[in-house]
A and B are shown apart, each in its own frame.
Chain A
């Protein structure tokens, strides 16, 4: 299976499989989110650190075209690293991402404190979403989503509003490189609005201008749970937010700022 991106140094080649739901010439937000997560993990730190937060500002639609990755460490601390990663198309900055890493340590926490167990079915207890269901969904007509498996995490009838869905990215993101659990979480973080829309996607668009991923602990495995809901303002703004989980429980949160427009 070809990868979504081929990366050589700072230069990125983008395949058509990065295409998004609204216009196939522009990428699904999950594709640059995964690419930025990959670049963020490769930023070296002094002491061992891990990513606790990624925020992508999707400054402009990201074209399915060659990109450049630029990284800058804003602060190299003893306990934290703050970095900015930009994606450029030509000379234009299309994505600007903030990365926060925190020192890995093992504080002697009381057993079980701060852990959150799942309140939905595990991926191997769920049925796959059929091709029919996927084709009937406007949002699912994204080339990028062809490389992603989805399973509803409850037996509820599909409907608008809050929903819990498991996702597994199958298509390699960066050529020759595994998809890390953080990259998987970054992909899932951009699915919150698609999963939980309270508006009919045939009549409304609710594109996100950003995506934020916060990780209480590193995710594990291939399946990522997106348990999402959506809040709407009355002035065209809105927020889709999700609890993110893996087979061991909830590990983090995601949020997207929405621009609501009538189609």
Chain B
């Protein structure tokens, strides 16, 4: 499968599937988000802890051009290892992330887990192809090239979307 980015040394270039829904020349937010997440993981030494939070500032629209990522570790603490990768295009900051990492010291501890999953498991859901057909046309999000490179499965049988005003040739589009 064709990748979203090509990499040569430290230059990362979008190929075809990075574009978003609002403008074909601009990245979908998830593509630089994935790049920044990769940079955070790449910055950690082997055996280091898990990432517990990533916050991404989309500083300006990320054009479909060559990008560079530089990462610095803000602190190499015992309990916390915050990291800050920055994405630049032509030396201009276009996105930056801050991440919190904690060391995996407690892998054997047993905690009560409180996660309630009210929706169906992804392997029990039907593909988004069905969803799109049922909804009478692709949703706004689904028009993005970046989304064509991924898969969607609605996890609720009663889709909690809302109707948008009807346009000609658009049977109650939902998203």
Contact = CB atoms under 8 A, between A and B. Distances in A.
Interface of A: 55, 57-60, 74-75, 77, 82, 93, 96, 98, 100, 161, 198-199, 207, 209-210, 212, 229-239, 255, 257-262
B75 interface: yes
A83 B108 CA distance: 40
Interface residues of B, number: 31
Given A59-B74, A59-B75, A237-B50, A232 B55 contact: no
Contact of B74 (A96, A207, A260): A96
B96 A232 contact: no
Main secondary structure of the interface of B (DSSP, over half): loop
A55 B55 contact: yes
A234 B105 CA distance: 10
Contact of A57 (B50, B60, B82, B105): B82
B70 interface: no
Shortest beta-carbon contacts, A-B, top 9 = A236-B106, A232-B111, A257-B52, A257-B53, A237-B52, A209-B80, A75-B59, A257-B100, A55-B55
A237 B103 CA distance: 9
Interface in B44-96: 49-50, 52-53, 55, 57, 59-60, 74-75, 77, 79-80, 82, 93, 96
A236 B77 contact: no
Contacts of A96: 74, 82, 98
A237 to B, nearest CB: 4
